[in-house]
Amino acid sequence: MRIRILMAGWGAPRAAGSSGRRSHTLKRSSVAFAIVLILCIATLLASPTLAADAPTGVTNIFKPLSTPAQAIHEVSLLVLAICAGIFLVVGGLLAYTVVRFRWRPGDDGREPPQIYGSNQLEFAWTVIPIVTVFVLFLATARTIYDVQGAVPPADALNVTVVGHQWWWEIRYPELGIVTANELHVPVSPPGKARPTFLTLESADVVHSFWVPQLAGKTDVIPNRENRMWIDPTQPGTYVGNCAEYCGMQHAHMRLRVIVHPAGDFEKWAAAQREPPVDDPQTRAGRDVFFATACINCHSIGETKARGTFGPDLTHLMSRETLGAGTVPNTPEKLRAWVRDPQTIKEGCNMPNMQLTENELNQIVAYLLTLK
């Protein structure tokens, strides 16, 4: 009853004279509201279908293919549904009120009745939000507990990921492998689960590890170890990126998770443990490499190149991209990168080494043997 009085009050006319302009503004805002509503619904409908059986090649939170991502996906749908319900109720009431109680010719121009202290209304707008927040809290807390409380099985793969400005160092302490920007893991199908547990560290600033189809974001913080895990159910390449602004090339700090079919991961690991090939044809390039500052930042197998500031290059050519997903790893791009990385990834920590054309050719020929 009181609600009706209150609403009726909203329909009273305002100062005469401005009414024409007001109804015009009102029409325009109703149109804008309708457009926003249609856009929201279209976005929801256009989002990819929920049935998923392969990695999408683009970051996508709606096609989870790993238990933590699935758990987060489910709680997100609940949150989206509740928020959509609230939006429809509030937006619907607003639209109804705007249309039903708009100014009409012949309104008497009186101030609407002012209502204060409605117990029912105040009770409703206190209790409904509290219950809503409580439901969201319980659902979220349960998901966090399920994901973070998981105990690693004995055969879990352990990987340490170190965030750098602006690339990812990936270490397999039990396998003696160090690589960069591409995390290789075995597939973990239901029934034969072989999850990968990640220890996340940072060498400089705060980053955030995020591969949307596999798990939620986890911050990568200096002087702290964070843990997370993934169990991808389908082989393929999953893409992700740093999700915390970490400086100039934050956008070029991309990640690939390459999930190998059963048995294939071991082959990859064996190939990565192979020492670099010593090709007599490219020895000149190797000598130039070892004689320049390259070795202060990069490591190559058991050679005297032992730098850890930049990516390990032992199997450089087995990777798909250069500069953490900035360009594809082709001989042309590699040459352009070594000539002057700043033209490809401005601000990155690798300087232009001012190599002569001959040195450049020799070093690139050597790097191309690091398969």
List interacting residues with ligand CUA (CB under 6 A).
163, 166, 207, 242, 244-246, 250, 253
What is the smallest separation between the CB atom of 188 and ligand CUA, expressed in angstroms?
26
Cα separations in angstroms, 322 against 83, 250, 364: 41, 15, 13
Closer CB to ligand CUA, 147 or 161, in the complex: 161
Smallest distance, Å, CB 345 to ligand CUA?
A: 13
* Least distance CB 206 / ligand CUA (angstroms): 8
Amino acid residing at 50: L
Q: State the Rg of the chain over Cα.
A: 29
Return the SS3 of 240: strand
DSSP 240-295: EEE-S--STTGGG-EEEEEEEPTTHHHHHHHHHHSPPP--GGGHHHHHHHHHSTHH
Minimum distance from residue 172 beta carbon to ligand CUA (Å): 21
CB of 164 to ligand CUA, least distance (A): 8
Please name the amino acid found at residue 270: A
Q: Which is nearer to ligand CUA, 308 or 369 (CB)?
A: 308
Output 166 or 172, the one with its CB closest to ligand CUA.
166
Q: Which is nearer to ligand CUA, 182 or 244 (CB)?
A: 244
Closest CA to 259 of 214, 305, 312, 319: 214
165 versus 362: smaller Cβ distance to ligand CUA: 165
Residue 20 makes CB contacts below 8 A (sequence gap 6+) with none
CB 318 within 8 A of CB 271: yes
For the bound state, the minimum distance from the C-beta of residue 274 to ligand CUA, rounded and expressed in Å, comes to: 30
Strands 196-202 and 226-230: antiparallel
β-strand pairing of 167-172 with 157-164: antiparallel
Shortest separation between residue 238's beta carbon and ligand CUA, angstroms: 18
Strand partners, 238: 257
Closest CA to 235 of 267, 188, 280: 188
Apex 306 CA angle, 168 and 167, nearest 5: 10
Contact 239, 265 (CB under 8 A): no
Q: Shortest gap between Cβ of 202 and ligand CUA (angstroms)?
A: 9
Question: Which DSSP symbol is given to 247?
Answer: S
Q: Which is nearer to ligand CUA, 214 or 242 (CB)?
A: 242
Q: What are phi and psi of 339, to 5 degrees?
A: -60, -50
Residue type, 225: E
Taking the chain, what is the end-to-end CA distance rounded to the nearest angstrom?
78
* 99/251 with CB nearer ligand CUA: 251
In the complex, the smallest distance separating the C-beta of residue 249 from ligand CUA, rounded to whole angstroms, is 8
Residue placing its CB nearer to ligand CUA in the complex, 243 or 313: 243
Nearer CB in complex with ligand CUA: 206/336: 206
Dist. CA 107–CA 205, nearest whole Å: 64
Least distance between ligand CUA and beta carbon 335 (Å):
27
**Between residues 156 and 205, which has the closer beta carbon with respect to ligand CUA?**
205
Q: CA 284 to CA 282: how far, in whole Å? A: 5
- Running DSSP on this structure, what letter comes out for residue 235? -
Pairing type for strands 327-328 and 321-322 reads: antiparallel
